[in-house]
Structure 1
């Protein structure tokens, strides 16, 4: 066997079929295999959703147990963005996810940007509840100069000591509400990681960076820092099908939402690390059964949350119109309501919302959390972007380009009034736009409340992809609407925000 430039071990000559068994036996006899199982960007997906390929935590536990049967020693880690993302974890502000991860037996976790969505004090509380360390070496408390959580941890993998250094994306302050991170600073990923590796490398056999910085940053870390054996990442939701060798370091990441579980195998020869390999494991053809104990705990949380969704959050005098044929063609009071809530939450000049994201009406009378979730079921987060007036006009033209046909990209608006000519040619229909009672200035920069789907160019809004995201609240559309209704704010009518000339 010999090492290749991609870091893998291979036979040093072509082999015949009859030699395979002997080679595999030689590998078993001369090499010791140890494994690290990893997840990332689970975003609260505790349940199984077959139509989305989401396995859920009970099947993650099953896969972990399977790897423990195949490898001499195994560790289980997570790359962050785990405690927030669905009502099943929001209800307990992350505690349900921590308890499930304790049940499965996680050994370490990197703090992702969305771990701060409940405020960093809540993250500290969750860290105390966790049976595993939550790591973020580059997040420092301003007042004390000390790390917010643990910088690194050391875990035993058989007779080997593995050092995990945690890194959180330094752009977290623009990916959560500013109040969530007030009083702490996120320092440069590369600089801090380099310092931490130097501090830990003499204490351990292998150094692993457990990062929530994104795949491109992971590659930069590999290029810039010596002494790192493996980077297990998150944040970019990248499906790295097998660990790849980049500048003397292996890099892995396991997609998102428990759609895959990653495994990295470490092979030792004469007590020294010789190579690594691995894969992403998916539940193809439903071959994995949910782990019974973890599945029971998941169902307990789900039942509790579903009961909580019946809570009445307010009362309304009129039906909020969310029917598909309305919200995809014209202004509606529900479209006005959600955009008003978005504009208030982001303190923006205007707000926009695609009609395709509104999935049901809300009837007059008592309103429950369940009613809101039915109307806004998607995992769409509220964000704000800066853009000039000409980009807004381009987007409004896109919104009305196929009228009178139904269009999931039809934009509901708050803070502006739009007039258009339906008889004009597509992309030449906007005749007037006013913002706060003044004509739109095509050269002026406006702050626009939006959702992450639109901000990423969804529904054909490619013009938004290059606009700077200045605020990522980490809050769902449904969450901000629940808060808005609870507050007793006035429910808007159809006010002529979007009218034909």
Structure 2
């Protein structure tokens, strides 16, 4: 049962009231039964003076018919004050850098009463604008309307002859000429009724999020306010009002990684998602950022299913708190939803969190599940968090109708790979995808899809907002303590910490080296997640910069191992990889144009001498790297029983319970004032333009 009560929906595209009498002007219409049928199904409202059946269907009326027929909720838009901006559309493989032009309305010539419907179908690619003009009162031809309907049935990205396919299936009537003659309102009603009155046709509405990373509340990106699960809840409720059988799914990495999430060890995120009525989520690699037992306690707390077909205890038993898949029944259609977790996830979190569990090969696990569910289901959805393997899954495993892929932070249009529709849902609660699966005779034939950018234009759901606010108040009491002062801004971005020297990462490494009185300290760039602004520094700022519960440890290792570690750190360059090493106690130079494994040029110690390959150094790392994370198998001092050739070339000297942020906090308390400084600790010969994010 969904926990929050319905609230008023601001904009409805149709009347849900039942009129006492039918339209008086359809008695002589050849399509009277079709008109009455879609009226009873609340697809049309009609005019106050009748239906006007022989009038030509205008483009704005067609937009409303398409939206209501295919259960698409209103597309929120945000008016721009910049008159020079031109509308841009979210495309496949868009990054999460949201431009103001992507959320502004597409059409400038539409009346208020039809604007929501027009924006919705335009964003869904069912109809088009040209230079900001939709021409709303222009009549449509039968062929134009039939094509828009067929695209909504089979999917815009589906490379087929849409009208021919719809005619073959019988979803478009064969007794109506689909040509360049103008279509009437009654003919449009006939086309729509031919679909919605087909007892073997079903629409399964689904809302999808991914990579929330604990972003419960809104945040600023430039001048735009993005995110907030309370805003997503408003859109979810609008769809649930249209179809209470809708599914709400998440593609992993939801519980942790912000202050409000980490301070409560994920409970805040779980409570909000439960109240929103999520049906299922899949485990992502960052779901293991706390100990596995904590994750299982969250699964037990959640009022939705946590899926992962390839997550096991190390002894081979399956955790009772999880499920490999489940089958939902929607209007007599059996939808199997299986979860797959990247089998490399153990390498991207710290070993101590995952030492008692294992991940089996995600492709093999998918094949095993497919054999089990093949006879039990009509439609198969793979809810996965496989990073770069999202696009590989359709080539490896047959029979998946829809793949919802998390881990890449990609927000874009669906795309077909082989016979599988891949959905890219975005990240950080700044995006939401609606994908409506169209099923005919118990088989998926196509889809309609829209992507929503979550901005302040969307009202926050009051009950969900209240839950978040209560956690925020509790957190605020803990996080507002001022602990130091920054004389200038410590800048941050993924390229800054993952492909070049960064002042804040320098300071983090310095604090760790000083803490242990060590020779060298390494801070992986992916462990620094935010900058620090000029002025007072609070505990909140420190948590934002260092959100992961990575403990600092002291090891001893030789110079040749240090060289290999630095080589590992730059082998993905120019991709902005989280394993890129920020350093204290040495400086290094590498050639960005050389092949991976051959990039290191030199390592220089503070006294100007070269790194001694035979000398043993005291080195500070974190326990993520100490478990072999990010390919640092040479530092693997924890995972003693690791397989697949992972062996340690280092010795653990001291293990602590101090997190990176704790050490930084202690350093700041003593220093009181910090200044960003770049000291040429990392020199890049032949630098390359940075590429996509990894890890």
Q: Could you state the TM-score of these two structures normalised by the residue count of structure 1?
A: 0.72
Cα 1:449–1:270 shift into 2, 3 Å: same
> Paired residue for 2:661, among 468, 472, 481?
481
Q: 1:309 aligns with which of 473, 476, 479?
A: 479
Q: CA distance change for structure 1 residues 468 and 116 in 2, over 3 Å: closer, same or farther?
A: closer
Pairing partner for 1:45 from 210, 215, 222 = 215
Distance (whole Å) between structure 1 residues aligned to residue 281 and residue 608 of structure 2:
50
Change over 3 Å in CA distance of 1:321–1:240 after alignment to 2: closer
Q: After superposition, where does 1:165-180 map in structure 2 within 5 Å? A: 165-180=338-353
Residues 1:8 and 1:208: Cα distance change in structure 2 (over 3 Å):
farther
Quote how far apart the aligned CAs of 1:200 are: 1.5
The equivalent residue for 2:7 is none
Aligned residues: 440
Give CA-to-partner distance per residue, 1:393-421, whole Å, 9 cap, x none: 999xxxxxxxxxxxxxxx984232799xx
SS of the aligned residue for 2:247 comes to strand
Higher relative contact order (CA 8 A, sep 6+): 1
> Aligned in 2, Cα 1:343/1:57: closer, same or farther, shift over 3 Å?
farther
Report the counterpart of residue 371 of structure 2 in structure 1.
198
Query: Normalized per residue, which structure has more strand?
Result: 1
1:295 to 465, 474, 481: 465
Task: Confirm or deny: 8 A CA contact 1:321 1:362 kept in the other structure.
Answer: yes
Pair 1:431–1:206, CA change in 2 (3 A):
closer
Q: Residue 197 of structure 2 aligns with which residue?
A: 29
Pairwise CA distance, 1:359: 2.6
1:92 to 249, 259, 264: 264
- C-alpha distance in 2 between matches for 1:61 and 1:18: 40
Alignment of 1:383-462 (within 5 A): 388=564, 413-416=583-586, 433-434=604-605, 439-440=610-611
Would you say 1:11 and 2:163 are equivalent positions?
Answer: yes
Does residue 359 (structure 1) correspond to residue 532 (structure 2)? The answer is yes
Distance 1:235 1:348 in 2: 36
Would the alpha carbon gap of residues 360 and 274 (structure 1) be closer, same or farther in structure 2, given more than 3 Å must change?
closer
**Aligned counterpart, 2:332:** 159
* Whole-angstrom CA distance in 2 between matches of 1:340 and 1:17: 75
CA distance in 2, matches of 1:383, 1:7: 51
Measure the CA separation in 2 of the matches of 1:111 and 1:124: 11
Larger Rg: 2
* SS at 1:276 equivalent: strand
List per-residue Cα deviations over 1:424-477 (Å, max 9, x = no partner). xxxxxx998217996226999x99969x9xxxxxxxxxxxxxx956699xxxxx
Q: CA deviation at 1:342?
A: 8.1
Q: Distance in 2 between matches of 1:268 and 1:49?
A: 38
Alpha-carbon contact 1:33-1:266 (below 8 Å) kept: yes
Q: CA deviation at 1:164?
A: 1.2
1:280 equivalent in alignment to 2:451: yes
* Cα contact 1:78–1:108 (8 A) shared by 2: yes
Partner in structure 1 of residue 251 of structure 2? 79
Q: Distance in 2 between matches of 1:194 and 1:348?
A: 49
Change (3 A) 1:282 1:333: closer
Q: Which moved more, 1:132-141 or 1:430-439?
A: 430-439
TM-score normalized by structure 2? 0.53
C-alpha separation in 1, matches of 2:338 and 2:549: 29
Flag structure 2 segments of 5+ consecutive residues without an equivalent. Answer: 1-149, 168-177, 553-560, 572-580, 590-600, 625-629, 637-657, 682-695
Q: How far off its partner does 1:65 sit?
A: 1.4
C-alpha distance 78-383 of structure 1, shift in aligned 2 (>3 A): farther
**CA-CA distance at 1:32 after TM superposition:** 2.5
- Find the aligned partners of 2:246 and 2:253 in 1 and give their Cα distance: 23
Q: Which residue of 2 aligns with 1:234?
A: 406
**What is the Cα deviation at residue 333 of structure 1?**
11
- Corresponding residue SS for 1:241: strand
CA contact (8 A) 2:282 2:383 kept: yes
- Three-state SS of the structure 1 residue aligned to 2:227 is coil
Cα 1:394–1:492, aligned 2, differ >3 Å: closer, same or farther?
A: farther
**Cα distance in structure 2, aligned partners of 1:490 and 1:113:** 35
Q: Which residue of 2 aligns with 1:402?
A: none
Describe the superposition over 1:131-190 as per-residue Cα deviations: whole angstroms up to 9, x where unpaired.
111111111111243357221122222322211111111111121111110021111111
> Does the CA-based 8 Å contact 2:433-2:451 persist in structure 1?
yes
Cα shift at 1:67? 2.0
Aligned alpha-carbon RMSD (Å): 4.9
d(CA) in 2 for partners of 1:443, 1:256: 45
Instruction: Give the conservation status (yes or no) of the 8 Å contact 1:339–1:351.
Output: no
Any conservation in 2 of the 1:208–1:228 contact (CA below 8 Å)?
A: yes
Tell whether 2:213 aligns with 1:61. Answer: no
